[in-house]
Copies of this chain bind each other. A is one copy, B any other.
């Protein structure tokens, strides 16, 4: 064997944005438990420690990942791009135009955020990071609050309403995404729903007659319609306060 010069390690060069984007890709592929700083460094082609030059630690990295996606939700939710969502089930007939506009704006922002949460199933469970004061998250809150102000709600109702909508979006999404995570992979969505619904007929749920009665509704439901339906309950409440 000919002698070899010892491999000099190549120095990889990073940026904060690149690290965050790569982390999001890993999270999308492997889930929250699948992101490790070692794995991330390997994916970036560099050493473990260099990540720490750009982020304070794993927690800040997660916050930055979440914030980027909140930013995309605002951009989509305040823009005039078309994106599909179920028809709104709120009676706006005869209401002042400002109330109608505000209600539509609230719904649009919430649906845009829901879209990001569906596209990145690990994200909804990170709601603990919402209050971290990251700028894109705050931009989302600001955009939502503006719509409630447009509706003519009092400052107190703007505050309560905006936090209620964000809480609803994050909470319902976390519910839905965790259900997907619990299901074993390889089965279709329909089979998963059916398996859940059938399990509720088991003896451990004896006496929970309502639960048993709702199985068919669950087996036939669509996540986006379910989300939009609950959102419209909130929007109905907001409209009711505005007039």
A interface residue numbers (CB < 8 A to B): 125, 127-133, 135, 138-139, 141-143, 145-146, 149, 155-164, 166-175, 177-179, 181-182, 196, 199-200, 204-205, 208-211, 213-214, 216-218, 221, 226, 229-238, 240-241
Q: List the B side residues contacting A138 at CB < 8 Å.
A: 200, 205, 208, 211
B127/A199 in contact, CB under 8 A: no
Q: List the B side residues contacting A178 at CB < 8 Å.
A: 127-132
Task: Select A175's contact among B130, B216, B226, B232, beta carbons within 8 Å.
Answer: B130
Q: List the B side residues contacting A169 at CB < 8 Å.
A: 171
Shortest C-beta distance, A140 to chain B (Å), equals: 10
Most chain B beta-carbon neighbours within 10 Å: one of A174, A204, A230, A238: A230
Q: List the B side residues contacting A125 at CB < 8 Å.
A: 127-128
Shortest C-beta distance, A213 to chain B (Å), equals: 7
Main secondary structure of the interface of A (DSSP, over half): helix
Bound-state Cα–Cα, A143 to B139, Å: 38
A229/B164 in contact, CB under 8 A: yes
Shortest C-beta distance, A239 to chain B (Å), equals: 9
Most chain B beta-carbon neighbours within 10 Å: one of A127, A196, A232: A127
Given known contacts A167-B230, A175-B127, A158 and B217 CB-to-CB distance under 8 angstroms: yes
B168/A164 in contact, CB under 8 A: yes
Bound-state Cα–Cα, A219 to B61, Å: 29
Q: List the B side residues contacting A164 at CB < 8 Å.
A: 168, 172, 229-231, 233-234
Q: List the B side residues contacting A230 at CB < 8 Å.
A: 160-161, 163-164, 167-168, 234
B127/A171 in contact, CB under 8 A: yes
Bound-state Cα–Cα, A156 to B217, Å: 6
Closest 9 CB pairs of A and B: A171-B171, A164-B230, A233-B237, A167-B172, A167-B171, A236-B237, A160-B229, A142-B208, A131-B179
Q: List the B side residues contacting A128 at CB < 8 Å.
A: 125, 174, 177-178, 181
Shortest C-beta distance, A21 to chain B (Å), equals: 22
Shortest C-beta distance, A188 to chain B (Å), equals: 18
Task: Select A237's contact among B160, B205, B208, B234, beta carbons within 8 Å.
Answer: B234
Bound-state Cα–Cα, A238 to B229, Å: 11
Bound-state Cα–Cα, A149 to B241, Å: 25
Bound-state Cα–Cα, A160 to B232, Å: 10
